[in-house]
Amino acid sequence: MAAYQLAQQALAGEFAARWAEVLAAVEAREIAGSLTELEAEYAAAIRESAAASYGLSAAFYRLVRALETGRVIGGPGYRPNSSLGSLWADFNRASGKRTGSGPREELPVDTRNPFPTEDLAREARRAEETFRHEVAVRVEKHERERAGRGSAALDDAELVAWEKEFLESVKTGSTGAGGMLVQDGGRDMIHTALQDDPGAIGYFRVTDAGPCYFCALMAGRGAVYKSKRTAAFGAHPHCHCQAVPIFSRRYQLPAENGTFSRMWSDFGGGSLADWRTYYGKTTKT
């Protein structure tokens, strides 16, 4: 589970590094004329890492399911005569680390394919909308502000600092939102597969170290059973939470989830804003 989460986080990091390299090659005063090229680079970086996220999640889902049910599920990535050993090998390959191994006895097969087909058009639209909001809109606002500054010299210290702050805001916003889309490639796949897999019960949320108040609250719910159709997995920019599928009542929640659950109980109820304040104060003590 930890290896899966770290591998997904690493994919977001790979996207961030690639995008940072692209932005580093563009001067603030040139960015407005480079939006078309930048959008293409942004979408390509997201697409590549999101596809890897999808493949990693499929390997993780299939492995967890086999460990809990003793059966292997069909769909993308399925190989005939699969065993726990081969499923571990597939996951190790997808995560980039050797995290486990298993016996080579062939597993019974559930031929149903619960995995959704990657919706490339939807992914492209989401990348386009994200780029528009996090890059293009910021650039348009910056250009208007630049025009209002008049003909200040480009080597003016105040102007240099202003341009640097602008580029950093573009980088931070677009990287966080893009990283969310990358990991959503796998998160959406797992959430959809759970709904279409008769052998699945639900999922629980695992967080990274020091999660925000929202993620802590969601993790504190414990298991979310798939009969609760409205309880979709919610993520946000710079979020590295993941959904761990459940296939039996023998699941065990991470200790952190129990901690967040107790914190919510001690909180005693109130608005989300009240919880945010309470959580902030509690985690600082």
Q: Tens digit of pLDDT for each residue in 176-212?
A: 999 999 999 999 999 889 988 999 999 999 998 889 9
- pLDDT digit string, tens, across residues 104-121: 999 999 988 999 888 889
Cβ neighbours of 149 (radius 10 Å): 11
Q: What is the pLDDT of residue 102?
A: 95
Alpha helices in the chain (DSSP H): 2-24, 35-69, 84-95, 120-131, 137-149, 157-196, 213-219, 255-267, 272-284
Residue with structure tokens 């390997």? Answer: 59
Is residue 241's pLDDT more than 60? yes
Taking the C-alpha atoms of residue 274 and residue 280, their distance in angstroms, rounded to an integer, is: 10
Q: How confident is the model at residue 231 (pLDDT cuts 50, 70, 90)?
A: low
Tokens of 225: 């059973």
Residue 229 has pLDDT above 60, yes or no: no
Type and span of the H or E element at 225: strand 224-225
Write down the residue that tokens 């920019």 correspond to. Answer: 237
Nearest alpha carbon to residue 5 among 88, 13, 264? 13
Rounded mean pLDDT of the chain? 90
Look at residue 154 in the predicted model and tell me its pLDDT: 56
DSSP bridge pairs for 15? none
Q: What is the pLDDT of residues 242-251, one digit of tens each?
A: 999 999 888 8
Strands 242-246 vs 202-206: parallel, antiparallel or unpaired? antiparallel
Cβ–Cβ < 8 Å for 234, 266: no
Question: What confidence tier does 2 reach under pLDDT thresholds 50, 70, 90?
Answer: confident
Task: Retrieve residue 193's tokens.
Answer: 């597969």
Residue written as token pair 């630049």: 146
- What is the distance between the alpha carbons of residues 7 and 96, in angstroms, rounded to a whole number? 7
pLDDT of residue 146: 81
* Among the listed residues 13, 26, 248, 58, the one whose alpha carbon sits nearest the alpha carbon of residue 142: 26
Q: Are 100 and 92 in contact (CB under 8 A)?
A: yes
Whether residue 85 contacts residue 67, with contact meaning beta carbons closer than 8 Å, is answered with: no
In tens, the pLDDT along 85-101 reads 999 999 999 999 999 99
Q: Supply the pLDDT for residue 268.
A: 87
For the chain, the distance separating the N- and C-terminal CA atoms, rounded to the nearest angstrom, is 28
φ and ψ of 109, to 5 deg: -115, 135
Q: What is the pLDDT of residue 140?
A: 94
- Percent of the chain exceeding pLDDT 70 equals 95
Contacts of 167 (CB under 8 A, 6+ apart): 23, 28, 31
Mean pLDDT of 147-164: 74
Cβ-contact 184, 123 below 8 angstroms: no
Round to whole Å and give the CA distance between 109 and 90: 17
Q: Which whole-number Å values give the CA distances from 58 to 51, 224, 236, in the listed order?
A: 11, 20, 22
